[in-house]
Structure 1
């Protein structure tokens, strides 16, 4: 938003800006007032540029302070020109993001309503300066570039409802995607249906992760001491954020790393003494094991299902599957659930077939018990108390005789302060309180 007038103060650099050394812009109506952060690089004595914040629909007036002094409305050349409307049809929308997790530097497809198929540096058909453009796409502070720097062309042709961009950063983290559109539009509004919640209650719609490509030894001494070299990508973003390595659930002490080399990352660690217990299951890194087989398993036989050698095997990011095929299907997820917060959890099932979820309160799959079950005629979800920092073996099995099959398992946390206005993954608890009282007259005896 650009505001033109005579006599603006020059915004000067200050470690602690105050009303006396800078301009200030607020957007107000009779109910609310919102700060409009100033873009200091575009401030002159006749123009201020600021970024409008998210605001409810309505009409607002732009008010400006110059060096702490509010410009009165009677000094506006035309006060109606200082009005700005916040409306839904001028709001770009982001409704889909694919994939929802990938290594840094990956290609990401965004879908929604972007109001334009033009973008900054476009030559054709948007060669003139008139009209709205997609000026920037970013994931938190990380840019997502539409243009291939090697060819100076877009990675994929844009439409008003779809675009493809490449992440430029190298950090492993969770992010929220945003599209900025110039002219009368601005920042995109993200659909609540594509927000997810981390175990520590951060809201996000994309996450990145590191990759391990090679480990130099597969065997070593049970007394430890072996120097292990791991190669991969994006083990760290800087020297202050170093990777942690575990072997058999025990820490492998980090002894060397190659800083500032995001691709072909190298870590060296010293293998610990072998754990005292003989185990065949370890919680490992990210992801879940998924088995898909074109057979039907009845509800009572789900727990005894054993995949055949012809079953397809995958590693996936979420306990969710959608199959479109003519044959019946049985799917099984196995992995570990590691809550970051202690509290009450349950595991609801969303499926068009039938399914069960098992959880072990230890890391041993042999200790698993059914905590959730679903069939078209009934559903049963048991709450369990889980401790932060522990790893719990989890397994879900579902089947359907239909040609198509969908199954999704959620981990639902009850001891949260989040509300459903944040994301559709939050459900408010509604309590109905009934108050009753009986009437009893008070009597006074006066002498």
Structure 2
């Protein structure tokens, strides 16, 4: 059985012709406008996402010193780190709906400035309770950023471009770790100050870029093509007409209201699949420095070794997303990525030889990132208007509960069992459940 969006005919093969009102010359002109937007918007949004992901995961390195200094147990760290995603979950939908009213420029700037300040404030927690509260507040501040970016993409990029820009955007996950892990490891080597420990320096220094980028956002981003001074009048017109045509067709088929989105079973299935993926992504990501540290290496070496799986993941996610988007069997590619991640994580749980464990972790991260890069092309195939604002927020926010469940599950099982083996096997089981759920999805871009 596959879960359908609605029984009506879907766009042809991978994506339908996107406009019934633009002639060939106007389509060519709109393509040039989209390419120009891609070159201008993506680099800035990409940098913002790198900083976003760095600020939500740098606590995994801070824990190497913070846990001992503050007496935080493995279970307390897993719970506290995961509280970020509870705050994110509770405020994600309201944040996305507010952004639709205020515009992306103002709201994304607000999100970035507030999360940068709170990330720096986390340096001054004094125990497990204040740590959990700080993480909750960070999640509350950052809520709406990721689904807000996905919504922002629908204002600028037609369907044939969306898989490409989404995959390029999500490369920020491995890049954040490739760049951030060595930096975080090096900062943890600081001998400290009389009153400021090395993990506090890490949190203070890595929170500053978000505040700076938030201010830059106010002057750099444009809410939609009509407001972009760097597009010609003709480019603004044809691109906006193309986007309007696409959104009207999606609205006619699937509905454009929040109520339509909430009644669509595909929305909730995708949210559940995203939950399973994030259990693996955040669960493994937050604990990886501690898993690697058990190999007996220094903080600096831990940083470089933590970056290695994400280097592999950066390459795999782009190649995998491209093949998935070109294939008439996109769903098999998405499911297959989770199966690879689950199997590799199981291997990493049972082997003890460091080289084999690192190799297994590389395949784990590569599979998870390949899943994320190909999965996020699906929602924009049936969501538009208010349905997109609410629906994307639901998928991300429900999925982000996995960011609480994954670290908490690993921390609890590790504390009970005394090691990571059973904890990682449990996470691999969740990834397999996600792969099975993916197989029940009907590609919204594909015809019967």
Scaled by the length of structure 1, what TM-score is found?
0.22
**Which structure shows the higher helix fraction?**
2
**Which structure shows the higher strand fraction?**
1
More RCO (CA 8 Å, sep 6+): 2
Structure of larger gyration radius: 1
Scaled by the length of structure 2, what TM-score is found?
0.21
